[in-house]
Amino acid sequence: MYKIEQVLVPVDFSAFSRAALAFARTSADTPPRIHLAHILEPWRPYLRRAFFPYAALGEDDVEFEQELLDEARDALLEHLDVDLDKQKYIANLTLEYGNIKDDLSARVRSVGPDLVVMGAFGEGGVQPYMLGSSAEKLLRAVQCPTLLVRNFELAPRVKHIVVAVDLSPNSVDIVAHALGFALHVGATLELVYALPDPLTHDTNKLLARTLEFNPNRVLERSRSRIEALFDRMVDQVEVNFPDIEHAQELLSARKVVVGDPATALVKHADAVNADLIVVGAHNTATSTNRQLGRVAWTVARSAPTHVMVVPPQHAVSLLDSDDNS
């Protein structure tokens, strides 16, 4: 069963970094181990030439770079209100020169966290229907559950979680992550399957003239099939014995929405006042593309609440496995 014991929090000098750290403190199991990481942009060649025109051996700029790292470290600790000697839940704070995509991704691999928690935006501020550049790069680069914190709360509380499922084996791992998180923070859970509407993107009404799509009729015909897939998916989620009864109660809340999957999920999460949306990184379990799927990408960019993106773990669809059995 999914547990959160190691958390990596990429930080900068934004309010969202403080929010991410506050959120991470509520999501880590006891004893919490939170690793903080900050990447500084490397020196531009022209800056080196301007600051150190006579340092033939490069000793002065290396010493100055270290002074900048020390200054950044002290400033970050003050900004985050962190005392490493007193706040034992902070494992360490790592600072280095590099770029977000490569060096921060390498840091994620080095720590091997159960969860990465970071602000959806950084020092550049909030932009509608966008993500901060660092969050965007990290989402595309790491194969680790990543939670984007979208608002600033000194004492964040997750009360209700919406879990996007496509009823494939990939969804089993997504549900396991969401369930483990919900059990730890004491949140309620709702499994949501978005039935795609083929007319959603028919802007010129070309399909509408030849194709009749009645969502209610489709749902009525598919209800037993959808329920069977829900049951089969839930049965594959591993749960520790003391939590079985509570987990069954949490996993019994299910919902089917119709429309463009990303839009329908965000709209439903907003309607039920969800605090967190959990979504798989890819639209289907059969995807071999390491980039984010369209649904995950759209939800991460447009959701008004926190979003956890879970990478895929399986490769065979429940529909296929059922038909082949």
Q: Is the pLDDT of residue 202 over 60?
A: no
Would you kindly state where each structural domain of the chain is located, as residue ranges? 6-149, 160-324
Cis upstream peptide for 32 (omega within 30°): no
- The pLDDT value recorded for residue 212 is 66
First to last CA, the chain: 27
Q: Is the pLDDT of residue 198 over 90?
A: no
Structure tokens that stand for 191 in this block: 């499994």
Q: What are the DSSP calls for 8-37, one per residue?
A: EEE--SSHHHHHHHHHHHHHPPSSPEEEEE
Locate all alpha helices (DSSP H) within 272-312, ordered by sequence.
Answer: 294-302
User: Rounded distance, CA 224 to CA 133, Å?
Assistant: 43
Q: Is the pLDDT of residue 299 over 90?
A: yes
- The pLDDT value recorded for residue 71 is 93
User: What average pLDDT score do residues 283-307 get?
Assistant: 77
Label the pairing between strands 306-310 and 146-149.
antiparallel
The reply to whether domains 6-149 and 160-324 share a CATH topology is yes
User: What average pLDDT score do residues 156-185 get?
Assistant: 92
Average pLDDT, the chain: 84
What is the CATH class of 160-324?
alpha beta
Structure tokens that stand for 173 in this block: 């791992």
Per residue in 242-276, pLDDT (tens digit) is 999 999 999 999 999 988 899 999 999 999 999 99
Contact assessment for residue 187 and residue 161, using Cβ atoms and an 8 Å cutoff = yes
Per residue in 28-54, pLDDT (tens digit) is 666 679 999 999 888 777 777 777 665
Within 13 Å, how many C-alpha atoms sit on residue 96's CB side? 13
What is the CATH class of 6-149?
alpha beta
